[in-house]
């Protein structure tokens, strides 16, 4: 009977150690591997030099950020309070004010991405975007990953004195 108890204790210890090894291995994976997936928007804020926050789009924006292992990304962020319908069905007949209202409540872009693990920098090369001035640009953004929470920080602007912080939660 003592042999079975010793075996059981050894088995439990071995299983505990293997679980620890798996968890440690997951934490040691490159950041690039860890951020691949689909992310749901939690917040999209301008943060002032004094720490004050002002939401972009809305206090409860909706959005998705998709990052694949081949180095492609897409993101769409929206203000859920923007107008729900246009006055006409044909987009070419929509008044400019309605287009403006729809565009002001939307951030959309896609392109290529990479990560610099050493500096924890997310680099996105914008291929296309709602904002046409972004197309063809490269943006270097700070990145923090804690469990299923991803935060991307754009550098502080010298003009506005704010930085943009976007937080996401992994979609499971």
- Helices and strands in the chain, H and E counts: 3, 9
pLDDT for residue 167? 97
The structure tokens listed for 86 are: 């246009």
pLDDT, mean of residues 90-110: 88
Tens of pLDDT, residue by residue over 16-57, are 544 444 444 445 789 999 999 999 999 999 998 888 999 988
pLDDT for residue 15? 45
**Residue reference for tokens 């693990």:** 117
Tens of pLDDT, residue by residue over 55-80, are 988 899 999 999 999 999 999 999 99
pLDDT for residue 13? 45
Print burial letters for 66-98: b (CB count within 10 Å at least 16), e (below 16).
ebeeeeebebbbbbeeeeeeeeeeeeeeeeeee
Q: Is the pLDDT of residue 11 over 70?
A: no
Instruction: Supply the DSSP symbol for 69.
Output: T
Instruction: Please compute, for residue 163, the number of CA atoms within 13 A of its CA located in the half-sphere on the CB side.
Output: 14
pLDDT, mean of residues 158-167: 80
pLDDT for residue 82? 87
Q: What is the percentage of the chain residues whose pLDDT exceeds 70?
A: 81
pLDDT for residue 20? 44
The structure tokens listed for 123 are: 């680099």
pLDDT for residue 4? 45
Q: Is the pLDDT of residue 122 over 70?
A: yes
Residue 23 CA to residue 25 CA, distance in Å, equals 5
**Residue reference for tokens 């912080």:** 165
Tell me the sheet residues that pair with 170.
39
pLDDT for residue 160? 66
Average pLDDT, the chain: 84
């Amino acid at each position: 009977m003592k042999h079975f108890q010793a075996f059981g204790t050894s088995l439990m210890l071995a299983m505990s150690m293997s679980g620890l090894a798996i968890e440690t291995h997951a934490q040691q994976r490159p950041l690039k591997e860890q951020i691949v997936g689909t992310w749901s928007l939690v917040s999209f804020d301008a943060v002032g030099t004094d720490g004050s926050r002002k939401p972009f789009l809305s206090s409860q924006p909706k959005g998705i950020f998709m990052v694949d292992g081949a180095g492609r990304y897409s993101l769409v962020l929206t203000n859920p309070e923007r107008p729900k319908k246009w006055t006409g069905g044909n987009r070419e007949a929509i008044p400019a004010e309605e287009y403006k209202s729809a565009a002001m409540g939307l951030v959309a872009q896609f392109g290529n991405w990479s990560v610099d693990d050493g500096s924890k920098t997310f680099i996105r090369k914008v291929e296309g975007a709602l904002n046409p001035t972004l197309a063809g640009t490269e943006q270097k953004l700070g990145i923090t990953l804690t469990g299923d929470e991803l935060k991307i920080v754009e550098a502080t602007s010298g003009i506005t004195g704010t930085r943009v912080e976007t937080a996401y939660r992994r979609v499971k």
